[in-house]
Amino acid sequence: MNGTYERPLPRRQMEVVTVWYGYALSRWCGPRMPRFSSPMVSPWNPVLAQGMAVDPGAPAPYRDELWCDRWIAEALLYGRKPYGAFTLPVEEALRWFAKSGGTNLVYQARAEGDVVRVVAGTSERYGQLFDLDALIADYREALPKELADREAAALEEHRALSPALSYVLSEPAEELFARAALSVRGLTLGYPPRETAARIAASAAA
């Protein structure tokens, strides 16, 4: 088996498993959020960007230590993620810069020895990229009111902003991103809101 498998659970919950040739790479449970969808949001985004594997000894798609960085770089070029940070060897980074010229991507890069660290994001606004009204409605149904109000406000604040403006061109870009609300970070990385909502609830309960 290869793919993403979803199973509805009681109390409006959902279980999602990503599978690579019969081996599970990730498994999580979260609230159902049926209104929101986007081609830039996928259960594979966190899996492939973070090198997840339930059993580290099982076969997985990760071929070397920079495999996830290469995947993030490619996903950005082809519109599968709105934002990401990656590290590549100099020659690969230069080829990426050349390919990014015909896209809406904005990036910052710095050399670190024989590799280059790149932070990149689309210049399109969040309100153009995503149906924020549907997402906010889903969060209001999935989370307690206080948490939902907080995350809804953070998403509203980003409606006229873009990943490039907020988390690439602003300094210090990666630190600012790390301090953003979880709902904004998850959406900006193309992570499923169901997974993000589960993290928000868990963090509040801790």
Of residues 25, 29, 7, 27, the one with CA closest to residue 17: 27
- Three-state secondary-structure class, residue 4: strand
pLDDT number for residue 1: 67
190 neighbors 40 (Cβ within 8 angstroms): yes
Report angle CA 109, 115, 121 to the nearest 5 degrees. 30
**Which distant-in-sequence residues (6+ apart) come within 8 Å of 206 by Cβ?**
none
Structure-token pair, residue 40: 């830039």
Task: Quickly count: other Cβ atoms within 10 Å of residue 204's Cβ.
Answer: 12
82 neighbors 38 (Cβ within 8 angstroms): no
pLDDT number for residue 58: 87
Q: Summarize pLDDT for 79-106 with one digit per residue, the tens.
A: 999 999 999 999 999 999 999 998 999 9
pTM of the model: 0.93
Residues of the chain with pLDDT below 70 are 1
pLDDT number for residue 26: 94
